[in-house]
Amino acid sequence: MARDSDERNLAGVVGQALRRWLEKARDAVMAPWRQYRTQPDPSRVYRVQEAWRAELDSIMTVVGRISMNAWSQASDVAPVSRHAFVMSQLAQTENFLVRIPDEVANLVFAEITDAVNQGADVDEVARRVDRVLSYTASERWPARARTIAQTETTRAYGAGTLAAGVEQSRLSGRVLQKRWDTRDDGRVRGSHEAVDGQVTDVMYPFYVDGWPLMFPGDPSGPPESVINCRCSLTILNERGR
């Protein structure tokens, strides 16, 4: 299945990007301890913030390609790589992922605070912070890479598919529709199961647990409705046909 392949590929790209950047972040944060045996400094994460932006560029290139793959699968209309709707969705994805340094700085700060409150000495504090910043020391970062890949693949497929439908409707003058489909495998959250198979006009939202979502993974929805979503969008023929 093309979508599953795209998700695996994105997970690999995100995982490698996180691995490379966390090594830089660890070197920066741990420098005070390594040089002077003083407490690691979480604010030093921001010294390598631009390095994360560079990694993010490579991630966004893949996400953009996934959106175009989705467009190609949804419609015979030739993909428009800089279609305004797709670019808007990609910008929102980038805004989410650019906050990774904030997430890491907060994790390091929390780890230091917990360790100090528990009476840990500086060497123990450093050991715990070093573990937080290691890609392989726990499942945290591999799991984060998989969550990003699954969430952003769903979002990219939804955005690309909907953009294809919008463009096809514009060019043909027909009122197209769209359908929300779940994986129907026993792992579907209840709010998504409730809209499985629902059909609406292409420019109208689905109401998922009360939230108006234009497609599965729509970033305007709350985290509990979009993170790790595996649903898909299908463009249908003209209304009533």
pLDDT higher than threshold 70 for residue 199: yes
Q: What does the alpha-carbon distance between residue 115 and residue 118 come to, in Å, rounded to a whole number?
A: 5
pTM for this prediction: 0.92
Task: Give percent above pLDDT 90 in the chain.
Answer: 87
DSSP output for 59-79: HHHHHHHHHHHHHHHH-SSPP
Per-residue pLDDT tens digits for 42-81: 999 999 999 999 999 999 999 999 999 999 999 888 888 7
CA 60, chain centre distance (Å) = 10
Length of the chain: 241
Round to whole Å and give the CA distance between 110 and 210.
34
Q: What is the pLDDT of residue 85?
A: 85
Rg (alpha carbons) of the chain, rounded to whole number:
21
Per-residue pLDDT of 108-147, as tens digits, reads 999 999 999 999 999 999 999 999 999 999 999 999 999 9
